[in-house]
Amino acid sequence: MVDYKIILGGIASVIILLSCIPYFRDVFKGATKPHIFSWFIWGLLGSVTYAAQIIKGAGAGAWANGVEALICFVIASLAISRGEKNITLTDRLALGGAILTLVLWVLTKNPLAAVILAVIVDGLAYFPTFRKVYYKPHEETVVYFLLNTVSMILSLFALEAYNATTWLYPVYLVLINSAFISMSLIRRKIIDSRRIV
């Protein structure tokens, strides 16, 4: 008999893969313009938190996070030619923080400290995308973030060990993605209502 956690981890990973279809479509159509720093940082931090989850026994609950990290690197590479080019000091600081997270984990060998720092830096990495969607809310594919949120919820139920190292990052992603989705939809509504008037 197959463990239900393996099934949930597999479904969560498939949802992450499916979320790419509308996102990549919109990037190639020019409707979505990913911010290179955000996506590269998310890939780096996702890799760090995935490794920390595996070390702390997350099992199938970590799979979606690993898949997501790879996808973030692919989107970052697409952003080189098809993404947002507005790079600010805050963006550079977030990138420095992501690199610092990796260095500190290597030096301290403390997975929980790395995950906590990753959550903080990930929040900073979201800033360029939040800023962009505030001004250009139609340049992000909201369904990607919605499916990502669903995937992270499923991955929480797929965790084989529950400790702060394994659950903190997925819970954070559910919360930050929900805030991002809400802001995107609200800003779209505001901008669209101004066009009508």
Q: In this predicted model, what pLDDT tens digit does every residue of 130-185 receive, in sequence order?
A: 888 898 888 888 999 999 999 999 999 999 999 999 999 999 999 999 999 999 99
Could you report the per-residue pLDDT of 1-20, keeping only the tens digit for each? 569 999 999 999 999 999 99
Beta strand spans in the chain (E): none
- Say if residues 67 and 16 touch (Cβ distance below 8 Å): yes
Q: 148 to each of 101, 106, 128, 177, 190, how far by Cα in Å?
A: 23, 28, 19, 8, 25
- Say if residues 84 and 128 touch (Cβ distance below 8 Å): yes
- Say if residues 125 and 98 touch (Cβ distance below 8 Å): yes
Q: What is the pTM of this model?
A: 0.86
Could you report the per-residue pLDDT of 65-109, keeping only the tens digit for each? 999 999 999 999 999 998 877 777 877 887 887 788 778 878 888
